[in-house]
Amino acid sequence: HDLRNEDLKDLQELGQGNGGSVKKVEHLPTGTIMAKKIVLIDAKPSVRKQILRELQIMHDCHSEYIISFYGAFISDPNICICMEFMDKGSLDGIYKKIGPIDIDVVGKVALAVLEGLTYLYDVHRIIHRDIKPSNILFNSKGQIKICDFGVSGELINSIADTFVGTSTYMSPERIQGAQYTVKSDVWSLGISLIELALGRFPFADSESDDSDLSDFEGTLSPSRPNPLSLPKQTKEQRDKKKKRKSKGVSLQGGGMTMSILELLQHIVNEPAPRLTPDGRFPKEAEDFVDSCLLKDPDQRKTPKDLLKHPWIEHARTSTFDLEAWASTF
Ligand code: ADP
Ligand code: MG
Span 86-125, pLDDT tens digits: 999 999 999 999 999 999 999 999 999 999 999 999 999 9
Q: Kindly report the protein residue whose alpha carbon is nearest to atom 3 of ligand 1.
A: 17
Q: How close is the Cα of 148 to the center of ligand 2, in Å?
A: 5
CB 89, CB 138: distance < 8 Å: yes
Query: What's residue 158's pLDDT?
Result: 82
- Is any atom of ligand 1 closer than 6 Å to the C-beta of 204? no
State the pLDDT confidence band at 132, using cuts at 50, 70 and 90. very high
**Distances, alpha carbon 299 to alpha carbons 66, 125, 187, in Å:** 27, 21, 12
Neighbouring residues of 175: CB distance < 8 A, sequence distance ≥ 6: 264, 267, 268
- Is any atom of ligand 1 closer than 6 Å to the C-beta of 281? no
Instruction: Report the pLDDT averaged over residues 71-82.
Output: 94
Strand, helix or coil for residue 164:
coil
Q: How close is the Cα of 134 to the center of ligand 2, in Å?
A: 6
Query: What's residue 156's pLDDT?
Result: 83
pLDDT at 171 over 90: yes
Strand, helix or coil for residue 80:
strand
State the pLDDT confidence band at 250, using cuts at 50, 70 and 90. low
Cα–Cα dist 279/273, whole Å: 16
State the pLDDT confidence band at 216, using cuts at 50, 70 and 90. very low
- Is any atom of ligand 1 closer than 6 Å to the C-beta of 136? no
Cα–Cα dist 146/65, whole Å: 6
Query: What's residue 165's pLDDT?
Result: 46
Query: What's residue 279's pLDDT?
Result: 81
pLDDT at 280 over 50: yes
Q: Kindly report the protein residue whose alpha carbon is nearest to atom 27 of ligand 1.
A: 89
Q: Kindly report the protein residue whose alpha carbon is nearest to atom 2 of ligand 1.
A: 134
Cα–Cα dist 96/227, whole Å: 33
- Is any atom of ligand 1 closer than 6 Å to the C-beta of 137? yes
Q: Closest Cα partner for 301 from 110, 25, 55, 38?
A: 110
State the pLDDT confidence band at 252, using cuts at 50, 70 and 90. low
Which of 76-85, 129-138, 141-150, 207-216 is least confident? 207-216
Does 37 carry a binding-site annotation? yes
Main-chain dihedrals φ then ψ at residue 26, nearest 5 degrees? -110, 130
Query: What's residue 213's pLDDT?
Result: 36
CB 41, CB 77: distance < 8 Å: yes
pLDDT at 237 over 70: no
Main-chain dihedrals φ then ψ at residue 207, nearest 5 degrees? -85, -20
| Strand bridging mode 32-40 / 144-146 | unpaired
